[in-house]
Amino acid sequence: MRLAEVIGTVTLSRPHPSVAGFKFVIAVPHTRQSLLGGAKPDGEDIVVYDDLGAGDGSKIAFSDSAEAAAPFYPEKKPIDAYCACLIDSLTITEGK
Amino acid sequence: MQIGRVIGNAVATVKHASLKGWKLLLVQPLHENAKPDGEPFLVVDGVGAGAGELVLISSDGVAARNLIGDRKTPVRWTVIGICDQ
């Protein structure tokens, strides 16, 4: 799961039936530099499915790839990024 | 499978139900020359690895679902071993 920070939400006026009612957030993934430097994330932003209630500024861990759709099994959903947890605290012990 | 170094850990209260009780380690994947390979990410630990340790991680989603025991878990990466050297 990659770490990211939420910077906004996406609202669909005409969703595909399979994603009707879903909530999506815009998240900026952390890079090695931003994590180790304690800076704001500076990766390429990505739209993430969220049902945990992530809001602006939330630090999240999201799954991408095929596992992002696993929580909907046995239904098939076109989801490739899934917010798996809201991070309370992140401890970095080593910078190497 | 890839070698990585445990460089931290994360604590989360609000999370997917399947993650309850599992330790989340922040792992930096490494090249064979020990240089960082890409961005660090969170890996579920079923082995008991600790900070600073060199670990073998697997991206097998099926193995992750078996380890966690939940077909619906969004987890992909798991620690499958601690490297001696």
pLDDT band at A94 (very low <50, low <70, confident <90, very high): confident
The mean pLDDT of B5-9, rounded to a whole number, is 96
Tell me if A8 sits within 8 A of A26, measured CB to CB: yes
Q: How far is B51 from chain A, CA to nearest CA, in Å? A: 7
- Check pLDDT > 60 for residue B2: yes
pLDDT band at A68 (very low <50, low <70, confident <90, very high): very high
A85 and B77 within 8 Å at the Cβ level: the answer is no
The mean pLDDT of B78-82, rounded to a whole number, is 96
Tokens of A44: 């390429």
Tell me if B60 sits within 8 A of B2, measured CB to CB: no
Each residue of B19-48: pLDDT tens digit?
999 999 999 999 999 899 999 999 999 999
A68 touches chain B (CB under 8 A): yes
Each residue of A10-28: pLDDT tens digit?
999 999 999 999 999 999 9
SS3 B61: helix
